Structure 1
Amino acid sequence: MNNIPYPFNTPHGTAPFSTIAPEHFKPAFEEAITLAKAEIEAIVSNTESPTFANTIEALDFSGEALDRISNIFFNLNSAETNEQIQQIAQEISPILTAFSNDITLNETLFAKIKALHDRRDQLNLSTEQLTLLDKKFKGFSRNGALLPDEKKKRLREIDTELASLKLTFGENVLAETQDYALHITNPAELKGLPEGAIEAAAQLAASRGHDGWIFTLDAPSYLPFITYAENRPLRKQLAIAAGQKAFRDNDFNNTGNTLKIAALRHERAKLLGYETHAHFVLEERMAQQPEKVTAFLNELLAKAKPAAAREFAQLSAFAKELDGIETLEKWDGSYYSEKLKQQLFSLDDEMLKPYFKLENVLHGAFEVADRLFGLKFSEVSHIDKYHDDVQTFEVHGENGEFIAVFYADFFPRKGKRNGAWMTSYKSQYVKNGNNERPHVSIVCNFTKPTATKPSLLTFNEVTTLFHEFGHALHGMLADTVYPSLSGTSVYWDFVELPSQIMENWCYEPQALALFARHYETGEVIPQPYVDKIRESASFLEGMATLRQISFGLLDMAFHGADPAAISDIKSFEKSVFDNTALFPDVAENCMSVSFSHIFNGGYSSGYYSYKWAEVLDADAFAYFSQNGIFNRDIAAKFREHVLSKGGTEHPMTLYKRFRGQEPTPDALLKRAGLL
């Protein structure tokens, strides 16, 4: 395939990163699209009667080369991008959108799918095959196959514009994140900061040719400053900079993009016969309707708000008593929360960090996966990678069988977006009798090692690593026939269950004993520290829950009604947040314009799913807790009915098969201290 020869002649068919240059992508995309078009044409022009094999199955296995190249390219655009890659993304996105529309708006192809769907009860299909048939039918009908030509044309225009707008939205957020630097030359302004944060800031300043210390909006730099710096005006400066990403009066302002994305999504939904974008999205979610999501969020709000108000009053009184702070502001929240936590529990992140050396935490996650599922992780050097920071692993099962390739990419750098995520370079599926195994990656932004210290994680970063590793297990342990139903290809309000349940092991003494060891002495984390971690697990949980609910409500406000009435994003956002706001509003800040989850990622009308899945994960982990956190029988059931099954059946069916009952919110409310 020009300069990206596919299939890849590499170990396990992994991506040959070191041989790929940005200029190779566009010709490779063009050739892969030509191949995929030929595969679609073969299905369309087949004169035999449509069958599941010659239509549905053939369609699901088509475009394999295009999928692999797309996965490589768009993952690089998130984790290792540059201006050239961003330019190619803008050029290739409309071409990919047009190709996708050519398929879903192909009347002959849809007629074959519809004919099979109409008589699905007579086809003697397996459960997985029935799910795939239904998914393909909806994939066409929900993307315009039933529309008249004039409306199909408009749908194409909308999809092309949306693809470009979403890319621009993400590029603007990245540009704004990287544009800001707080340069400090007076050592007195560093008071309160941990030694490791100061050293990292000095290292960053030196790498940019400056004296002193530089702090940025990247999480490993931003969070220690906002949490520990005693200099309140500088905390304010940094917090305002973070809050006005893509809201400033410059070329990277996302105000127009945000409104356009919301408006186009609404128009698209109406075109397809849905009341709103949220109605369209939620039809294919466990929650099913916007009303149910709003009711779910409001029910949690009713439970969390009194607790949050009490916590905020306690925090405000503490700040006033300690430093005479009359009004607690957003740049004070993390700082005084940390101080109060230290007072109440004699616990702080700096005390814990020496026990959470990154390498140990990663191997702790591996050990937990071994005890639960019998997985063995071996670091290897013969698998190509896109950056020196990336680690590569082969994963095998208890009997030595090859399970997956696993990539881990942990440190921030230029060209890598903020946050943490799991992604896939190759799905699992069964073809020609071969069970093709997946290539899965987790990407995070943790503190880099310095000249004197290894990468030491905060406890929050420990849970982040376990969270993304849970998503990775969902991808790695997939065992389905069809690629589009494999791994994390599930309803979005179910996809967070495997990730969020893994966080629970971080609080368990049995699990912590496996990896929480002092990086200098090798001493296992003392039991009093473990007790404090557990005691403080629900510290300010009401405030944290209220924050998550507010994001879910903002998402639904943009997508659950006609956004035409929104003239000013800032005042609209403020009106939505009024019922959940604790801190005074900051005029210069606007969250919506950098809310990448919903305007650039896949969470539009789905942000509620984090809380929805928390109900599932608390209920599921209660099952482990009652029977032993390393209970192999329960782990086997979780693997068999949840992790391996992907999207082959309705998630509630799978969950009940694992748990024996539907989940109740009791375990979550109890865990969060909200009962």
Structure 2
Amino acid sequence: MSQSAPRVTESHANPLLDFTDLPLFDQIRPEHVAPAIDQLLAQSQSALDKVVAPDFPADWKTIAQTLDVATEQLGRAWGAVSHLNAVADTPELRAAYNAALPKVTEFYTNLGSDERVYAKYKAVDPATLNDEQRRAQHNALRGFVLGGAELQGAAKERFAAIQARMAELGQKFSENALDATDSFAYFATEDELAGVPDDIKAAAREAAEAGGQPGYKLTLKLPSYLPVMQFGSHAPLRERLYRAYVTRASDQSEGEAAKFDNTAIIRELLALRQEEAQLLGYANFGEVSLVPKMAESPQQVVDFLRTLADKAKPFAERDLNDLRAYAADKLQMADPQAWDLAYVSEHLKEARYAFSEQEVKQYFPAPKVLAGLFKIVETLFEVQIREDSAPVWHPSVKFYRIERNGQLLGQFYLDPSARAGKRGGAWMDDVRARWLRPDTGKLQTPVAQLVCNFATGVNGKPPLLTHDDVTTLFHEFGHGLHHMLTQVDEHDVSGISGVEWDAVELPSQFMENFCWEWDVLRHMTAHVDTGEPLPRALFDKMTAAKNYQAGMQTLRQIEFSLFDMLLHTQPARAADFQSLLEEVRREVAVIHPPVFNRMANTFSHIFAGGYAAGYYSYKWAEVLSADAYAAFEETANADGSPNVETGRKYRQAILEAGGSRPAMESFKAFRGREPSLDALLRHQGMA
């Protein structure tokens, strides 16, 4: 009798139980969730019971054939449900997701803390494993310890209860942030939109008409909110939008939106994380968070952030002085407020560098940008990208495949547009990992999802991307390449799996650099009306402005990162987290927002997105990515184009290795030494 989990053949009955190929996103309905997840949980539990039997062999492949095959199917089905919950939220789907969440959390909590499975993995002889399997075994044993496998009795029960409650709170935090954002709409008049670009006004007009309303519908989704803040000359409108934006999901929310307040959720989450840390024998959650990361201690992270803050602060102070002087001299604003800063910044940038984001955007129609991104990836990493077909969750979603010499390496979905019911921000997620399947002996290729929130096209034109949007697209694609180009066959360390969290941003931030290379950029631009490529003179102005306000932007990231780490290492401050945030601002920031600002209440990265005591990872990995990119600068071809041999070396050392070895080893395999801060400071004009 086969020990692998039975394959479900009646795929038509429940699309979530069809694992023959890609998820049937177009067929999944809320009513499919409960029966499918219940069946897969039962299958996984049965596999777990088999593996922990005393006579079951402590053999890596035999365990994988039984347990990993069952849990991988559960993971794929639950991943599809979670994904739809993030990109196509409906009341019915949300209810189905929330009903299944406690059961899924309970299963994984029990699995991760099961001392019998832990003992079985410990008994596997490392001498029988290859390097990839040894790394996966090392990670698994560490995961069991962090999962509470060494806890006993009441402590173990409490640990499980904490995990269940934290999953529930994280989901509720995310829902509140989405609902608070979606609940706001303001119908502006023509006069109030003075200065706002025509395409933004056209989109706002279309949105109002779609709801049968007069005027222009403004929302707190970034494609609507940000251009008004940057270009709208009507200060009362900017103030209204700013106040609504920075008080989302907080005690400062007004009217109906008050019911989405995340304050109590934040306090409870922090208390539970602290309790979890103490159960595991750590002083605080910051210590727990760093166990599987590159950084060695919370103090090392805090020191790193403060060192960077000291280097950036003089540049940030200069940025702010320039801003204030320009506001007073040219805009008659003696004391610009928080809602004026984006507006003043955009005007100063236009005055100093003689171009505007609006002008640049005309050269970046989404299809042209995508073609340019594919070209650089194909050239540098010696692959081919082709359009492919798969069931999708929304008509705007596209599907592609990546090949090398006709051989499939991976596939990906691209969901570019902002819409109601879709979580804000941009992210990459995996649908499935590369895996030499132990049940069939066949190689499973990796599949990724790349999600952005760009504006949609108006008046029959394609969507236009800001240069920031272009950078975001390259960033998420870097994550996707890390996942799809892996050559590792062991599920738990292939692609992004098993990569230290503070190194996982290296490939994504690395790709952003190409958005500043003329040789790359000129191939991905065509004016939306004339088809003309981006003029060199405009590119030179953009490059001159590249590090515009880099000091202030760096301090903003440090402010978030330092707040996150101090919050998770000073449990006594959790009840009054807002005062800790204000203290951090007094220490590192040059801009101090109004007292009603409640940034923490929508800080989903750390309260609903896995970055708790890990937000510093963006800055940490930026050091790695800047230094890695410096290798391309050092070896560039005579015409400035990137060297393909350096691309091959990077691909093999970093992308293909995935999580199969420590990130520092992969970095040193590429660079020949440990990373240095110099390249980052130079790239940001702060050397």
The TM-score with structure 1 as length reference comes to 0.96
8 Å CA contact 2:177–2:248 kept in 1: the answer is yes
CA contact (8 A) 1:573 1:590 kept: no
The CA deviation string for residues 97-156 of structure 1, in whole angstroms up to 9 with x for no partner, is: 11112212323222222233xx64xx2432211111111111111111111211000001
SS of 2:387's partner is: strand
Aligned residue pair count: 665
Q: Which ranges in structure 2 are unaligned for 5 or more consecutive residues?
A: 1-7
Residue 560 (1) aligns with residue 569 (2): yes
Code of the residue aligned with 2:429 in structure 1: it is: T
**Which runs of 5 or more structure 1 residues have no equivalent in the other structure?**
none
Q: Counterpart of 1:97?
A: 105
Alpha-carbon distance between aligned partners in 1 of 2:583 and 2:441, rounded to the nearest angstrom: 56
Given the alignment, which residue of 380, 383, 386 partners 2:393? Answer: 386
Structure-2 separation of matches of 1:5 and 1:64: 16
Alpha-carbon distance between aligned partners in 2 of 1:656 and 1:58, rounded to the nearest angstrom: 37
Q: In the alignment, what sits opposite 1:142?
A: 146
Match for 1:147: what amino acid? L
Of 231, 238, 241, 1:235 maps to 238
Determine if the alignment matches structure 1 residue 401 to structure 2 residue 407.
Answer: yes
Structure 2 SS opposite 1:210: coil
Q: Could you say what secondary structure the match of 2:420 adopts?
A: coil
The residue aligned with 2:18 is 8
Q: Give 2:560's match in structure 1, choosing from 543, 547, 551.
A: 551
Which of 621, 625, 646 in structure 2 is aligned with 1:634? 646
The CA deviation at 1:460 is: 0.6
Against the structure 1 CA distance between its residues 430 and 6, is the aligned structure 2 distance closer, same or farther, given a 3 Å change threshold? farther
C-alpha separation in 2, matches of 1:5 and 1:357: 36
- Partner residue in 2 for 1:347: 355
Q: 2:658 aligns with which of 627, 633, 646?
A: 646
Q: Provide the secondary structure at the position in 2 that maps to 1:158.
A: helix
> In structure 1, what is the equivalent of residue 4 of structure 2?
none
In the TM superposition, 1:519-538 aligns within 5 A as: 519-538=528-547
TM-score by length of 2: 0.94
Deviating more after overlay: 253-262 vs 51-60: 51-60
Q: Which of 429, 443, 446 pairs up with 1:438?
A: 446
Instruction: Say which is worse superposed, 547-556 or 242-251, in terms of deviation.
Output: 242-251
**Matched AA of 1:420:** A
| Counterparts of residues 243-254 of structure 1 (less than 5 Å) | 243-247=246-250, 248=253, 250-254=258-262
Q: Distance in 2 between matches of 1:62 and 1:521?
A: 55
Query: 156, 166, 169: which one pairs with 1:165?
Result: 169
Query: How do 1:157-556 residues align onto structure 2 when only pairs under 5 Å count?
Result: 157-185=161-189, 187-247=190-250, 248=253, 250-380=258-388, 382-397=389-404, 399-431=405-437, 432-489=440-497, 490-556=499-565
Cα distance in 2 for partners of 1:53, 1:376 equals 33
Partner of 1:581: 589
The separation in 1 between residues aligned to 2:529 and 2:409, in whole angstroms, is 34
The answer to whether the 8 A contact 2:387-2:401 is kept is yes
- Asked if the contact 1:201–1:215 (Cα under 8 Å) also holds between the matched residues in 2, the reply is yes
Q: Which amino acid aligns with 1:15?
A: P
Deviations 1:553-603, CA, capped at 9 Å, x for gaps = 1111221221x4433333232122221333343222211111000000011
Aligned-partner Cα distance in 1 for 2:576–2:624: 37
Taking a change above 3 Å as real, the CA distance of residues 127 and 58 of structure 1, as seen in their structure-2 partners, is: farther
2:363/2:534 contact within 8 Å kept? yes
* Distance (whole Å) between structure 2 residues aligned to residue 48 and residue 567 of structure 1: 48
Distance 1:79 1:540 in 2: 33
Q: Is the 8 A contact 2:16 2:33 kept in 1?
A: no
Percent of residue pairs identical: 36
Could you report, residue by residue, the CA deviation over 1:451-500 in whole angstroms, capped at 9, with x for unpaired residues?
Answer: 24321111111101111111111111122122221211211111111111
Distance in structure 1 (CA, Å) of the matches to 2:128 and 2:38? 38
Deviation, 1:4, is 2.4
- The 1:20/1:321 distance shift into structure 2, 3 A limit, reads same
Distance 1:102 1:611 in 2: 34
The one-letter code of the counterpart of 1:144 is G
> For 1:276-319, what per-residue CA distance to the aligned partner results, in whole angstroms no more than 9, with x for missing partners?
11100101111121011001100100000111011101101110
Give, in angstroms, the shift of residue 519 of structure 1: 2.2
Contact kept in structure 2, 1:6 and 1:65, CA below 8 Å: no
Question: Partner amino acid for 2:214?
Answer: D
Secondary structure (helix, strand or coil) at the match of 2:546 reads: helix
Is the 2:269–2:607 Cα contact (8 Å) retained in structure 1?
A: yes
Q: How many Å separate the matches in 2 of 1:40 and 1:588?
A: 50
Q: Which of 160, 167, 170 matches 1:156?
A: 160
How far apart are the structure 1 equivalents of 2:302 and 2:506?
Answer: 20
After TM superposition, give the deviation of residue 59 of structure 1 in Å. Answer: 4.2
2:676 maps to which of 655, 664, 672: 664
Structure 1 contact 312–582 (Cα < 8 Å) conserved: yes
Partner of residue 129, structure 2 = 125
Which residue identity lines up with residue 242 of structure 1 in the other structure? Y
Distance 1:472 1:172 in 2: 28
CA shift digits 1:15-60 (9 cap, x unpaired): 1112221110111000011111122222112615412333467544
Q: What letter matches 2:643 in structure 1? A: N
Check 1:326–1:517 CA distance in 2 against 1; reply closer, same or farther (3 A cut): same
- Which AA in structure 2 matches 1:448? T
Deviations 1:397-443 (A, max 9, x none): 2x111122211111111110111111111111112442211111111
Residue 32 of structure 2 corresponds to which residue in structure 1?
24
Q: Shift of residue 160 of structure 1?
A: 0.6
Q: Which of 624, 635, 645 matches 2:632?
A: 624
**Partner-residue secondary structure (3-state), 2:260:** coil
State how far apart, in whole Å, the 2-side matches of 1:674 and 1:307 are.
7
1:109 to 103, 112, 117: 117
CA distance in 1, matches of 2:570, 2:505: 26
Per-residue CA shift, 1:359-382, capped at 9, x if unaligned?
A: 1111111111100112222223x4
CA distance in 2, matches of 1:452, 1:115: 63
Contact residue 29 and residue 69 of structure 1 kept, 8 A: yes
Shift of 1:633: 1.2
Deviation at 1:320, TM superposition (A): 0.8
Name the SS of the counterpart of 1:388 in structure 2: coil
Q: Kindly provide the CA deviation profile for residues 38-96 of structure 1, in whole angstroms up to 9, marking residues without a partner as x.
A: 22222112615412333467544441220110110001111111111222222211111
Please state whether the residue corresponding to 2:646 is helix, strand or coil.
Answer: helix
Please give the secondary structure, in 1, of the residue aligned with 2:556.
helix
Secondary structure of the corresponding residue to residue 450 of structure 1: coil
SS at match of 1:444: strand
Q: Distance in 1 between matches of 2:268 and 2:381?
A: 46
RMSD: 1.6
Aligned with 1:445: secondary structure?
Answer: strand
Counterpart among 74, 78, 98 of residue 70 in structure 1 = 78
Give deviations 1:169-227, integer Å, cap 9, x for gaps.
00000000001112112x12111111111111111111111111011110100110110
d(CA) in 1 for partners of 2:323, 2:561: 24
Distance 2:197 2:166 in 1: 43
